[in-house]
Amino acid sequence: MILQDLAQPRQDYSYAFMDAYAKRELRRRILKAIAIPGYQVPYASRELPIARGWGTGGLQVTLSLVGPESVVKVIDQGADDSVNAANLRRFITRMSGAETTTDTLKATILQSRHRIPEEIMTEGQALVLQVPDPEPLRGVTADMSKASQLHADADYGQIWLLLYEQLVRYRQYIQGASYPSLVNGRYIISPSPIPRWDTPKLHQSAHLTLLSAGREKRLYAVPPYTAVYPLEFSDVPFQVEDQRGWVCKTTGIQNKFMNELPQEDGTAQYELSDSGYAEKLMNRGKTAPTYYDDEGNFYHAGYLRPPVLPTL
């Protein structure tokens, strides 16, 4: 054997940027996260040429999954064309040679900042969510070690108290995004700052969801076909955003998640938040069934219940 046989050809970067050790470590942690749905698995979180807090958690997971045959979609608040999404997408393709798409159904890996697309994702797709704050208990205890002890004991009394206080003060749950949800009947997660509209989409989904916080160095997973319930008292059901009557100004569609565009005269116009879906509608492309149908009914019948105003 000569030295040349052992040496690799010169390359400036490892495939998919991260070196083999980094990828192996992250892959070991991803497997543990899938085996323990909702449990926050610590991981090393390596340096990337993107600052922490700009999606490095999601990016590392994507880089550990991506290969030349992958098809990647990256969205930021539903949009494929925002700066954060465009930069991450360019970096991923430069480092892996993977194909990109704006079509939810064609993607094998879908990295998202704070939205789940409107069209129902299918088996074998991986949804990677960027998470700024993985700890659902941060609002009730600032101490990380205390919070992990509470998770260990499944001691979630304080977060229920928080919800009760919201009902007493405002007669509704006021948490808008990252609504705390119970996964597989055991761990409460923060489903990353997706709107309440998207939270039910994690329940018994066909796809795999990986949530990763690069700055906080923790990742957790919602495997396919896993029960996910937003926290709610039995007599005051959880509600998604009420956007009835909001019509998209470009596609004319209703009962999908909308961006509100304030106008100079004080009124507002609305626009589909999911730009890939809007693009398909505009081009009269073939669209797949959506999580919420055109009447606003969720695809798991009976999962969302009609609103109840609490009597306190």
Partner 1 sequence: MTPPPYTRAEAEARETFLALMWALSYPGRVYQLPAHKPNFELIAGSLLDLETSYFTVDAKLQPVLAQTSAQALPVDRAAYHFFPAIGEEHLAALGEACIGTRLYPDEAATLFIGCALGSGLPLTLRGPGINGAQALQVSGVPKPFWHMRQAVCRFPLGWDVYLVDGQQIVGLPRSVQVEFK
- Positions that interact with partner 1 (CB under 8 A): 8-9, 11-17, 20-21, 23-25, 27-37, 39, 41-42, 64-65, 67-68, 93-97, 123-124, 148-149, 152-153, 184, 186-187, 204, 206, 208, 223-227
Q: Which is nearer to partner 1, 150 or 163 (CB)?
A: 150
Find, among 88, 24, 16, 92, the residue nearest to 50 by Cα.
Answer: 88
CB proximity list for 108: less than 8 A, separation 6 or greater: 69, 70, 71, 72, 124, 125, 126
Q: Are 40 and 202 in contact (CB under 8 A)?
A: no
Q: Cβ–Cβ contacts within 10 Å for residue 298, how many?
A: 16
Q: What is the 3-state secondary structure (H, E, C) of 191-244?
A: CCCCEHHHHHHHCCCCCEEEEEECCCCEEEEECCCCCEEECCECCECCCCCCCC
DSSP assignment string, 13-81: SBTTBS-HHHHHHHHHHHHHHHHSTT--EE------SS-TTSSHHHHHHHHHH--TT-EEEEEETTBSS
Q: Which is nearer to partner 1, 77 or 125 (CB)?
A: 125
Least gap, CB of 49 to partner 1 (angstroms): 13
Least gap, CB of 181 to partner 1 (angstroms): 14
Least gap, CB of 224 to partner 1 (angstroms): 6
Least gap, CB of 39 to partner 1 (angstroms): 6
Single-letter residue type at 235: D
Q: Which is nearer to partner 1, 14 or 254 (CB)?
A: 14
Least gap, CB of 63 to partner 1 (angstroms): 11
Instruction: Give CA–CA dist 118/120, Å, rounded.
Output: 6
Q: Which is nearer to partner 1, 20 or 301 (CB)?
A: 20
Least gap, CB of 209 to partner 1 (angstroms): 10
Q: Which is nearer to partner 1, 95 or 163 (CB)?
A: 95
Q: Which is nearer to partner 1, 28 or 171 (CB)?
A: 28
